[in-house]
Amino acid sequence: MPLLEVRELSVSIGGVRLLDGVSFAVERGDSLGVVGESGCGKSLTALAVMGLLPAGATAMGSIRLDGQELLGAPERRWQAVRGRRVAMVFQEPMTALNPVRSIGAQVAEGPRLHLGLSRPDAERRAVQALDRVGLPTHRFPPTLYPHQLSGGQRQRVVIATALACDPDLLIADEPTTALDVTIQAQILDLLADLAGERGPGKQGMALMMITHDLGVVAETTDRMLVMYAGRVAERGPTAEVFRRMAHPYTRGLLAASPHAAAARMGEAPPGLRLPTIPGQVPDPAHRPLGCPFADRCAFVTDGCRAAPPPEIAVGPEHTAACIHPRAEPAP
Amino acid sequence: MTPPLLGPLLEVTGLVRDYALPRRRLFERPGSIRALHGVSFAVMAGESFGIVGESGCGKSTLARAVLALERPTTGTVRLLGRDLTALRPRDLKAMRRHMSMVFQDPYGSLDPRHRVARIVAEPMASLMPEVGRAERAERVREALSEVGLGAAAAERYPHEFSGGQRQRIAIARALITRPELVVADEPVSALDVSVQAQVLNLMLDLRERLGLSYLFISHDLSVVRCVTDRVAVMYLGRIVETGPTAEVFARPRHPYTQALLDAVPRPDPSRRGHRHARGEPAGGGQGGCPYAARCPRAAAVCAQAPELAEKAPGHAAACHFA
């Protein structure tokens, strides 16, 4: 049984369907990347799994953790999951931390509430968690406050808070977008190491990495989903998806990224134009009947506009929601 | 009219900027922190010059000093041969039409209560009052069409546009006085990947068409690689490496540049688990190389601050081992 199984998840807000039949599973110790641009539904997926959908959102489908249905579960059951079994790291370390409480107290809060530890035991656990994320006590005593730390150190505290109860699944939503490049590299290494760690009697924490950056997905995950307009466009083992890029959107997204352009340029002088994806993401209130990418796609045919494309197998465990998947190797 | 330009369009020499720290006691002499430690570079007409570095390296302070939004402690900023730091306020205002700025956040930089026409015309209204109303409207139309927006956009409000379109409006505003120099501070970092490419292409087109010079400030090395001719890498208020962008990226001389390039996550799964960035910018010892505390190659000689010295034609680095 997978650790997390999401089936046909649809979320609507104000009558507008933002997530449209998203299914995926995360195994223990697995790392899953979810990549897409703003409005594709990747953050909403994370919030749904955390039971943190905004008021007024209606969700349909199924979210199971170890086989136990969570969608529609009473708040009490969510509270036993949230922070304890599934923890989340947000983008902005400064807003995720309380500025007037010491970092030790903030990291200890989870163990006290969820595990019922005494104050000294919870504090010991907080020190361990801080140590695990690279903030050793002798340099970073738990009595420090967030304002005494740099952005990267604060994000480490946020990660320690998430780790303190030994969750089975860690969801990281753009965890490095607010950080500098060299600090980003350190945090990504840390998250990848934590996901791979296997303690005694433990099968390792699973990681769900939500990002707009194909580079982050490539470097930290085993499997990935590409999302577009509230749906899964392509999924598979990360190496396979990058090798093949069967969905035209996946190809367009990679080609348009300055990373890929910079790599293609070699030592050429600037002036080379970047490949772009024409048009814009469809407005969620007026998504087309057929493939949501049809209007921007170079390979569109009448069949694309007739019905939403099914997910077609293009390789082992690798599918693309496209009736004309690309066969030639990715550029 | 401006006389024909012989030297560089923009020449920054020995720029130092100190910020006063708050006093802890009433009669104490306030301490200060040095954001720029003698930065020098030049941008030729029609050239695109990149400044890269991480937060706290001084790149935004540098942008503000170049735009004469704040006065440097010492050093000069020459635009079209005139020293902006020495001009009287009236003369400085007259120089402002030659330079403009594109900011990072297309949501914060456009007044939500003004129509696009007024937003785009604003620099003209204050810097070129001699231009009449009819010509102003004509130039707004022209600027909007330069950035790929129709004339109908002029009568709409910013909230009716997407992030990428808003950044086009911000660029139209930057072009309205027909400046020679556009300072762009992280102009695409708030945009989605596919929109980033569109805005970067627009900036490349405009440069070719209008002969603009860019001072392009970014933390994103790949973006800088795509749009600049030459680049300066800054660390803790100093330029540690500078040269032709293609050359600096292909053969970085300074260990910090190497670390930055190595840290960029690349869309290549085979690179997984092979990065080695270390440390965070620290104050650094007095007098020595500011990067020594993080540098894998640091040695005794690094207690002496390295000079920014030419290592290959046009390519300089401030490192004893470069």
pLDDT in tens, A35-60: 999 889 999 999 999 999 999 999 99
Of B214, B242, B174, B187, nearest to B9 by C-alpha is B214
Contact A294, A288 (CB under 8 A): yes
Strands A4-13 and A86-89, by their bridges, are: unpaired
CA distance A209 to A20: 20
Angle at A38 between CA A312 and CA B226, to 5 degrees: 95
Flag whether residue B93 sits within 8 Å of chain A, measured between CB atoms: no
- Would the CB atoms of A270 and B54 count as touching at under 8 Å? no
The predicted structure's pLDDT at residue B4: 60
pLDDT reported for residue B9? 96
Which tokens sit at A146? Answer: 């967030």
* B54 in contact with chain A, both atoms CB, cutoff 8 A: yes
Instruction: Please judge whether B197 and A252 are an interchain contact, meaning their C-beta atoms are less than 8 angstroms apart.
Output: no
The residue among A164, A175, A99 whose CA lies nearest residue A130 is A164
Which of A259, A267, A297 has the highest number of chain B CBs within 10 A, making it the mutation to test binding with B?
Answer: A259
SS3 B12: strand
Determine contact: B147 vs chain A, CB below 8 A: no
pLDDT band at A200; cut points 50, 70, 90: very low
How does strand A223-228 pair with strand A318-320? Answer: unpaired
Of B249, B260, B265, the CB nearest to A219: B265
Arithmetic mean of pLDDT, A64-81? 94
Least CB–CB distance from B194: residue in A260, A263, A276? A276
Contact B193 A182 (CB under 8 A): no
DSSP B196-255: HHHHHHHHHHHHHHH--EEEEEES-HHHHHHH-SEEEEEETTEEEEEEEHHHHHHS--SH
Q: Residue A222 pLDDT more than 60?
A: yes
Count of beta carbons in the 10 Å neighbourhood of residue A308: 15
User: Would you say A172 and A92 are in contact if contact means Cβ atoms under 8 Å apart?
Assistant: no
Give the pLDDT score at B20.
85
Q: Tokens 């860019």 map to which residue?
A: B214
Q: Is B280 on the interface with A (CB under 8 A)?
A: yes
DSSP-derived secondary structure letter, A56: T
Min Cα–Cα distance to chain B from A231, Å: 18
Q: How far off is chain A from B100, nearest CA to CA, in Å?
A: 22
B118 touching chain A per CB within 8 A: no
Tell me the chain B residues in contact with residue A258 when contact means C-beta distances shorter than 8 Å: 196-197, 200, 220, 222-223, 225-226
CB pair distance less than 8 Å for A218 and B245? no
The kind and range of the H/E element at A48 are helix A42-49
Q: How many residues does chain B have?
A: 322
* Structure tokens belonging to residue B24: 């802890």
d(CA B17, CA B238): 11
Which residue from A322, A169, A127 is spatially nearest to A231, judged by alpha carbons? A322
B-chain residues near A270 (CB < 8 A): 48, 204, 225-229, 245-246
Name every chain A residue with its beta carbon within 8 A of the beta carbon of B264.
Answer: 181, 215, 259
In chain A, residues with a C-beta closer than 8 Å to the C-beta of B204 are: 270-271, 273
The closest alpha carbon to B302, from B314, B315, B277, B285, belongs to B285
**How close is the nearest chain A Cα to the Cα of B297, in Å?**
17
Assign A221 a pLDDT band (cuts: 50, 70, 90): very high
- Interface check for B197 against chain A (CB to CB < 8 A): the answer is yes
Shortest CA distance from B50: residue in chain A: A270
pLDDT classification of A201: cutoffs 50, 70, 90 = very low
Residue A240 one-letter amino acid: E
Number of other CB atoms surrounding residue B249 within 10 Å: 21
Q: From its phi and psi, is residue B176 left (phi > 0), alpha (psi between -120 and 50) or beta?
A: alpha
* Beta-carbon count within 10 A of B186 CB: 19
Which residues numbered 226-245 in B keep a CB inside 8 Å of some CB on A?
226-229, 245
> CA A171, A40, A18: angle at the middle one, nearest 5?
100
Smallest CA–CA distance from B244 into chain A, residue: A269
Q: Assess whether pLDDT exceeds 50 at residue A33.
A: yes
Contact A251, A234 (CB under 8 A): no
Q: Is A17 helix (H, G, I), strand (E, B) or coil?
A: strand
**How many whole angstroms separate alpha carbon A101 and alpha carbon A257?**
40
Interface contact B266-A192, CB threshold 8 A:
no
Q: Please answer whether residues B180 and B45 qualify as being in contact, where contact means their C-beta atoms are separated by less than 8 angstroms.
A: yes
Strand order in A16-26's β-sheet? A16-26, A4-13, A57-65, A68-69
Tell me which residue in A151, A180, A219 faces B271 most closely, judged by beta carbons. A219
pLDDT tens, chain B, 322 aa long: 455 667 899 999 999 999 888 877 888 887 888 899 999 999 999 999 999 998 888 988 999 999 999 899 999 999 999 999 999 999 999 999 999 999 888 888 999 999 999 999 999 999 999 999 999 999 999 999 999 998 889 999 999 998 889 999 999 999 999 999 999 999 998 888 888 898 999 999 999 999 999 999 998 899 999 999 999 999 999 999 999 999 999 999 999 999 999 888 888 888 776 555 556 666 555 678 999 988 888 999 999 999 999 999 999 999 999 8
The DSSP secondary-structure symbol of A329 reads P
Q: How far is B88 from chain A (nearest CA, A)?
A: 38
What is the average pLDDT across A155-167? 93
B260 touches chain A (CB under 8 A): yes
Beta-carbon separation of B275 and A188 below 8 A: yes
Cβ contact, residue pair B267, A252, below 8 Å? no
Q: Which residues of A touch B55 (CB under 8 A)?
A: 151, 180
* B267 touching A (Cβ < 8 Å): yes
Q: Cα–Cα distance between A330 and A246 in angstroms, integer?
A: 8
Which residues, 6 or more positions from B177, have their beta carbon under 8 angstroms from its beta carbon? B96, B97, B98, B100, B123, B124, B127, B128
Q: A303 and A323 in contact (C-beta within 8 Å)?
A: yes
Q: How far is A36 from chain B (nearest CA, A)?
A: 9
The pLDDT tens digits for A267-312 are: 777 778 888 888 888 888 888 889 999 999 999 999 999 999 999 9
Cα-based angle B9, B15, B20 (whole degrees, multiple of 5):
140
Residue B263 forms contact with A (CB below 8 Å): yes
Cβ separation A219–B221 shorter than 8 A: no
What distances in angstroms separate CA A175 from CA A51, A171, A179, B53, one per listed residue?
Answer: 19, 9, 8, 20
The distance of A38 to chain B (nearest Cα, Å) reads: 7
Q: Between residues A265 and A219, which one has the greater pLDDT?
A: A219
| Amino acid B3: pLDDT | 56
